[in-house]
Structure 1
Amino acid sequence: MTNLAIAAEGLHKSYGEKVVLDGVDIAVPQGSIFALLGPNGAGKTTAVKILSTLLSAGPASGGIRVGGHDLATDPQAVRAAIGVTGQFSAVDGLITGEENMRLMADLHHLSREEGQRVTAELLERFDLVEAARKPASTYSGGMKRRLDIAMTLVGSPRIIFLDEPTTGLDPRSRHNMWQIIRELVASGVTVFLTTQYLEEADELADRIAVLNDGKIVAEGTAGELKRLIPGGHVRLRFTDPAAYQSAAAALPDAARDDESLSLQILSDGSQRDLRSVLDLLDSAGVEADELTVHTPDLDDVFFALTGKLEETVR
């Protein structure tokens, strides 16, 4: 367990009768991206606030270690090891991007020379040099988010909490942010990401935990989570009715659609499963005109596990 950047056992938090987190276990290896996925109100932000020392855990919680430090006995060491980018930007729109960066450098007690060096490096890294002397209020949403993360990096944190970092961004800005996150991890940083976007978790995370009603209902890689849900299939379409009938005879368990001349066979999408189907077609001397493979995606996983269709997270 020594290679864990974040380790929490039985994380609990409640407000009166309302239980927000109900015995959540979290283990995040160093240098990885961990995504906490769930609808609004699931408890994602509460978990981030507790792990980043912004909120105290409930008395029923077990041990919590972040960056190798005990959260209860050494919160100051935890704060020195982490950076936090919340749902709402910490950027001050009344001052320039460069001034925002220098303010963070002052808060981290960097010398004037070191602050100037770090500011210049991060502004260049995040492609903000041209806008650096303009008021941050004039920045686009994507630029503000980049500045927000740049400000988080001033203190060279080893662990970064990103609470829904791409909410409200257009698709291009979202993809740019994903690349920034990948580069952070490539440099050795651990990223704890909360998101409502299934595609985002699928694209970025080494491991994903699905949080619903304060509990982790599933955890694993994207591939492991997808395999939890049935519904994968291979679809074969034919243009020749005779070939269609021959294929249907060779695959008696397939669901038929006589109108479209197509067959649907349950499959986990594996190479072995697909080869089995193709071998049966070869034995019958039949070739499909179109073959498509469908495997469950994170949308299927999310809705199956949470049952909350009203909280769409596409």
Structure 2
Amino acid sequence: MKNLKLSFAVPGVALLLAGCAGQVVDKTPVVDVSVIKASIRTSGPLLPDATQTTVRYTAGNKSTLETKTEYDSWITSKIAGDNHTAEITRLDKNLLWQVNYSAENYAECPLAGCSSLSPLEQLKNEGSDDEDTEDYNPAGSDSCKVEVKKFDFTVTPKAKGREINGFIADQYVAQWDLVSEDDQGNRDKHTVTMDYWMADVSANQALKESHDFDQKYYDKVIAETPLARLLDQNMEKVLAFFSAGKENEMKKLTSVNGEPISVKLEWYADINACQEAETKKDDPEFDAKDPVNSLKDMAGSFFSEQAEKGAKKWMGMEDGKPLVTYIREVTAANMSGEHTSRFEVPKDFKLIDRQ
């Protein structure tokens, strides 16, 4: 009976070994690495409705941000693609790699970043079939200049020492109030609010490793980038209009040391500038002499107003609804033993661009 049992066991072991034979063994050294997991939710007409999960690995002068994206829209998902990507930043090599795991390719770029390769830019360039359609630009356009009439920016401390996702953090609320006007006196009004919680990095080694890397990166690449310390690249670009030329004021955002572990940003707008002029019509009134036709005219006026409200809602400008909502939460931050291959492009991946 013992021999019978052995005869069954041997083929099973052989099968297991055969399955392992095809796997590539990672022989790169294992080092202590900061591993920070986060989730990001975006919505509104200026960003695709999507949920991202990110894992950031940091060790010394190397960092890899791996991102998986799920778009709410199937069409957006097909256009944007690249739903599993990574950005490998190597301060020791003065370069950055953008890796697409789905396509098994990568681009090599300067530390400042790659151009025209992000999923957001691809969506913007490929997702519109109408060449006459213009993106909304709060700074106006060549054919319609706008002038900033008001720019107020405040950062207010709100709470201290609250536990957020297991981290002890302090709360701050930033608010932008901006009013711009075209040459016809029509005004756009913008309000951006950002609620963010800063954790003390000295209390968590993983947060400190990541924070120290960012300090070196920003000092080496872009000296003044307060928004970049709180938001991802796409969101930073969307808000560039509100921070341009206001670097000293923006420093209020990072006047306290720490790492943002929770950020919620909303952008509200009332858009009236640079709209095509329309011939004003008097609202139709009820005519007792012609009740049927006058009621038709009144009904037409009502549905026109409803159509305008519907258009504003579709554009994300409905009263009380934000143009952009962005929520980022750090869910875990720990030290882990990881292979140094985390900071290299996988072998056999194809180079598609070098900048």
Q: Report 1 or 2 for greater relative contact order, CA contacts < 8 Å, sequence distance ≥ 6.
A: 2
1 or 2, which has the higher helix percentage? 1
What TM-score range do you get, normalising by the shorter chain? under 0.3
1 or 2, which has the higher strand percentage? 2
Q: TM-score, normalised by structure 1?
A: 0.24
Q: TM-score, normalised by structure 2?
A: 0.22
